[in-house]
Chains A and B, each alone.
Chain A
Amino acid sequence: MFYRELHRQRKRIRLTIFALAWGTFSIVILLAFGEGMNRQMKIANKGLGTGIVIVSGGQTSIPYRGLGKGRTILLRREDVELLKNKVPGIKYISPEGEHYANTLTLGRKSFTERVIGVYPSFEEMRTYYPQEGSRFINPVDLQNKRRVVFLGTEIARRLFESEDPVGKSILINAIPFLVIGVMQDKIQNSMYNGPDTDKAAIPYSTYQAIYGDEYIYRFIYMPEDISKAGVVKKDVYRALAAKHKFDPEDTQALRTWDTIEDEEIFDKIFLGIQIFMGIIGGLTLIVAGVGVTNIMYVSAKRRTKEIGIKMALGAKKRYVLLQFVSEALMIAFIGGGLGIALSFLTVGLFKSLPLEGDVADLMAHPVISLDIMALTAVILGVIGFLAGVFPARKAATLRPVEALRYE
């Protein structure tokens, strides 16, 4: 009997189910793409490395102990060794030397690429993670000035195409190097001098021997404990100020890129985006809720006469209510389920789209939040339920003659 009634009212029910499904779908999809974008941004941020500080020499801006301002501070490898020994709380530290316009040759193929000289700890700090079956520069390479090279993903692709580069020899400026590793592909949204996938890394000792650089371009360190990053930074500054004779308060003497501070800022932006998405989601939910309420309310009103007939024939209040409750529950169930199914379908479809580049990096990874999905479906269901049951309840408490009079 219930089924027959539902069948008869299928237009109204279709509308309600659609409103519910659409509401659930909009919110879930909206938040799925928002969350996906946030996650991708976080991953991309990790491309450079997290919890690290990148330091290079600057120019003094304050006169100090008889030395004028405008002095260029040049850093050396000894500075890195000094910090390693003198400043507590540094987990990793590595100098970085860099030369562009190097000719990398494999057979007849030749490309001009950047070469950097680093310590083994560079791997962890700057996420130079090796692909399976390969490795990054190790301490023995460094100690023995081995001519080994770790290739960025893109370089490996250009030189070797589909071939496995590990164990093969290439020429860097006509000097043979053994390829020990290839970087895992990574997305990176902040960088200096180009993406890491376009760089070739060799041990710093080898680098120094070949290029003869007296000064390092920069050094990178990672504090042991992020909460004490401020103290470590001050200690680093003070140690270098003493060595190079500049004012420890002179912020121009060293140029620092502090990803730890950046991350705090990014977290705030991230929170802002989340609040924004939450507000949009909430508004969508209200719109959907109003739609569902409207349909359920109008239909329950319209069915007052039907309730009157049933009461005249001796239906008790609970029978009338049971019908409306089961109907509302069924509608909520189907509508919510449909919305959820539609969301999964859309997300699946989006993930399978052949998108490339930055758009794909940010947009092609929507993440469905089960919590939000369940919450949305439940809220809309409850709204629809109440909107359907309350007018029915009211109709069922009328005297039958009043309900019957309703057209």
Chain B
Amino acid sequence: MSDKVSVMIRLNGINKIYGAGEIKVEALKAIDLEIEKNEFIGLIGPSGSGKSTLMNIMGCLDTPTTGEYYLEDRNVETLNHNQLAEIRNEKIGFVFQSFNLLPYATAFENVELPMLFMGIKTKIRKDRTMELLDKVGLANRAAHKPNELSGGEMQRVAIARSLANYPSLILADEPTGNLDTQAGDEILAIFQDLWRQGHTIVVITHNPNISERAQRVVKLKDGRIENNGA
């Protein structure tokens, strides 16, 4: 990580419009947002406020209709399909509300996947996978498939997977949405730890405890930033 660049994310006038004509929906309207490195951001807002859309754009899973997005001072707009895949692989770790684990693969294989795409050598990959599972407390569940794990365990597998390639940015879209309060708190605690270790973290959540843990809370409403928490 270069010390010169202290800004992780810079969004300039981001608009996202779905559909066209009569059924046009403006999901995001003129979003300006800067996130520094090693910030822990909580992104909140009612449903339909554009949280997920914003997160997808930040994660290079989607592209804005207009506006500029700089990720570590790189203009994402100029990147092609493969370069975006590389960025997602190397720089970003995702944690989804619905986990998005491959159902037929074991916890071990799911965590291994991003490293497989990066072309990490087998020996290093296997060691790192075990280390990651150990980190989220699931070393003993490595051979289990998602349907043999609890919701909290599945989400911890997903977190382990998101950390595989030492990403600088971790994006979590309602990671606690499908979990009970206790499991949700445990997951948030893990994010807090990761933040302390130097990761930049953006978490969408409805969990009211987020304000206690996050450094800054950004509030979205009707596709606009109501409060950027700065």
Contact = CB atoms under 8 A, between A and B. Distances in A.
Contacts of B85: 311, 314-317
A7 B102 CA distance: 13
B61 A401 contact: yes
Given A397-B81, A401-B56, A312 B88 contact: yes
A404 B61 contact: yes
Given A1-B109, A400-B61, A401-B61, A313 B88 contact: yes
B82 interface: yes
Contact of B117 (A4, A5, A315): A315
Contacts of A185: none
A399 B61 contact: yes
B76 interface: no
B109 A314 contact: no
B82 A5 contact: no
B100 A309 contact: yes
Interface in B19-46: none
Contact of A317 (B56, B81, B90, B104): B81
Nearest to A318: B82
Contacts of B87: 314
Interface in B134-175: 161, 165
A145 interface: no
Contacts of A312: 59, 61, 88, 94, 100
Contacts of B109: 1, 4
Contact of B88 (A306, A317, A400): A400
B88 A404 contact: no
B116 interface: yes
Chain B binding surface, main DSSP class: helix
B82 A7 contact: no
Nearest to A311: B85
A310 interface: yes
A313 B94 contact: yes
Contact of B63 (A9, A313, A399): A399
B33 to A, nearest CB: 19
A319 interface: yes
Interface in B103-119: 103-105, 109, 112-114, 116-118
A314 B88 CA distance: 5
A164 B69 CA distance: 100
B81 A1 contact: no
Chain A binding surface, main DSSP class: helix
Given A313-B161, A314-B86, A399 B62 contact: yes
Contacts of B104: 4-5, 7-9
Contact of B90 (A5, A314, A404): A314
Given A4-B104, A5-B104, A310 B61 contact: no
Interface in B40-97: 56, 59, 61-63, 81-82, 85-90, 94, 96
Interface string A312-328: 11111101000000000
B160 to A, nearest CB: 12
Contacts of B82: 316-317
Nearest to B165: A314
B147 to A, nearest CB: 11
Most chain B CB within 10 A, of A317, A397, A400, is at: A400
B89 A401 contact: no
Contacts of A8: 103-105
B114 A401 contact: no
A164 B187 CA distance: 96
B98 to A, nearest CB: 9
B185 to A, nearest CB: 26
B106 to A, nearest CB: 8
A163 to B, nearest CB: 72
Nearest to A314: B89
Contacts of B88: 311-314, 400
Nearest to A402: B62
Given A399-B61, A404-B61, A309 B81 contact: no
A313 B81 contact: no
Contacts of B113: 1, 310, 313
Contact of A310 (B62, B63, B81, B117): B117
Interface in A362-407: 397, 399-401, 404
Contacts of A397: 81
A393 to B, nearest CB: 12
A316 B85 CA distance: 6
Interface string A3-25: 01101110000000000000000
A309 B102 contact: yes
B226 to A, nearest CB: 24
B117 to A, nearest CB: 5
Interface string A293-309: 00000000000001011
A399 B101 CA distance: 19
Contacts of B100: 308-309, 312, 404
28 contacts: A1-B105, A1-B109, A1-B116, A4-B105, A7-B104, A8-B105, A309-B101, A311-B88, A312-B59, A312-B94, A312-B100, A313-B89, A313-B113, A313-B114, A314-B88, A314-B114, A314-B117, A314-B118, A315-B117, A316-B85, A317-B81, A317-B82, A319-B117, A399-B62, A399-B63, A400-B61, A400-B88, A401-B62
In the A-B complex, the 6 residue pairs with the closest CB atoms:
A314-B89, A8-B104, A401-B62, A401-B61, A400-B61, A314-B88
Interface of B: 56, 59, 61-63, 81-82, 85-90, 94, 96, 100-105, 109, 112-114, 116-118, 161, 165
Given A1-B116, A310-B117, 14 more contacts: A1-B105, A4-B105, A308-B100, A309-B100, A313-B113, A313-B114, A314-B86, A314-B89, A315-B89, A316-B82, A397-B81, A400-B62, A400-B88, A401-B56
